[in-house]
A and B are shown apart, each in its own frame.
Chain A
Amino acid sequence: MIVSDFSVDECADQLACDGLRLNVGPFWCHIRSSLPLVAAHIYQLYPDAIIDQDRAFVDFPIQISRKSGTRGWVKPLVEFTFNGNVPFTPLSLNQSPALAEWGINWCVSAHAHQYLILHAAAVEKNNKAIIMPAPSGSGKSTLCTALVARGWRLLSDELTMISTKNSMLQPLPKPMSLKNESIQVIQEFWPESVFGHICTDTLKGSVAHVKPPAESVQRSSEKAEAAIVLFPQYQAGAALQLKSKEKAYAYMSLVENAFNYHLLGSHAFHALSNLVQQSDAYELAYSDLNDAISQLELLVS
């Protein structure tokens, strides 16, 4: 059964009562929430995710709920609860979809140490995966979403999970997160895209999520092999420029963007060494998404 087998009301009822046992990549989340915004978010952006209400074992028990207290009368706040703990400061009600997404990302990055986890986007085409580690603002998510719009398989837009056993990439095809100007850029670039609620005034500005293609979700147990480490750099008006980078640079940049490199010790060192050995590294300066995509299509052809 998948989420879209429910009606929107059934989905909301399940979330509010027993909770929804939802498959996300290799994990099962048990999400409880009586907030209509959260129900709408899951219904719109996870329609192809498998649900199994009879499942006995779940990885992440999650609750997203109104914070109790008198302050809620003036400005309603929502909090994210994992396993009975509240790991973040509460956000305003309007930001609850973003809180749900960040919360699930945190569950993964704080616990799933069987993987080396990078703050990076990853997409795949022709059995060649591109990893894009990048600081916020480099256009990583925009480029990732644009590639997905053109038929690339989404592995993950935020957390790239690398197996410490064989350096293969484990997909985590969650909704893609876009910020500020890139929301409009993608709405124009990909008119058929499905957007969730736009959360305004978050720490990162306005944030909206885009539904991943059904195919990416269905193939989430199919691991991918890294072929390219790409450092995208959006520069308004710049001509397309692809520059080869040294492997050592790629390695160190990946370490900088890793959540648990030091925690994993030698496991991480070997996994990342293999990955960088087998990959080419490039820096890509671009201003036009179509140009960038054509260039990357060439690299994986």
Chain B
Amino acid sequence: MNPLTPDEWQALALSLRVAGLSVLASLPFALGLAWLLSRVRFPGRLLVEAVLFLPLTLPPVVTGYALLVLFGRHGALGEWLAGLGIVFAFRWTGAVLAAAVMGFPLLVLSIRVAFDGVDRRLERAAETLGAGAWRRFATIVVPLSVRGIVAGCVLAFARAFGEFGATISFVSNIPGETRTLPIAIYELMNVPGGLPGVQRLTVVALVVAFVATLAAAVLGGTAWGRRRDD
């Protein structure tokens, strides 16, 4: 017996793809920004932090609207990007962008805390051994922050997987294209006889969230254990 209908499978697969790609795409930027915030004192740092955390504090619908204004077909950036063949509005790529924006603060915050925890004296030692900034980052800072980076990725993934408000505002509800699992649940709640589907997808959401959190604990724990005992 198939536990989900084809439409429900489609929503689940889309959600996994959107959440996974959103984390992958935003990770390099998050690593760079976390390093800047952790290691460099620059003017306007507080302003950058305030902007970074906006998606956490703004109503998601507002974030979605802002994305539409910026990246819509006639938006400030959207029109220019469309010229390069890159379109976000009402496409699954837009769902990835919305999920990335919503998960980004959690990703940066986790990684930054991990970077803050790296003993600066080790970086200084690496520097005296001839390692430039990039090598120190790649060989000392990142490996010693693996646990925080993994935790950040999982948090951002979970946030992206559950993303609803910004996504529906920015890319709407198009089956197979932008109807992610939360949007599918919302739609099923509003159609007669949709309750069994709501229940099935709710269980799926619970399982995915639980597995993701467990994976973070296992992966983070393994990386930590290797560092300490290897």
The answer to whether A and B interact is no
B residues in contact (CB < 8 Å) with A: none
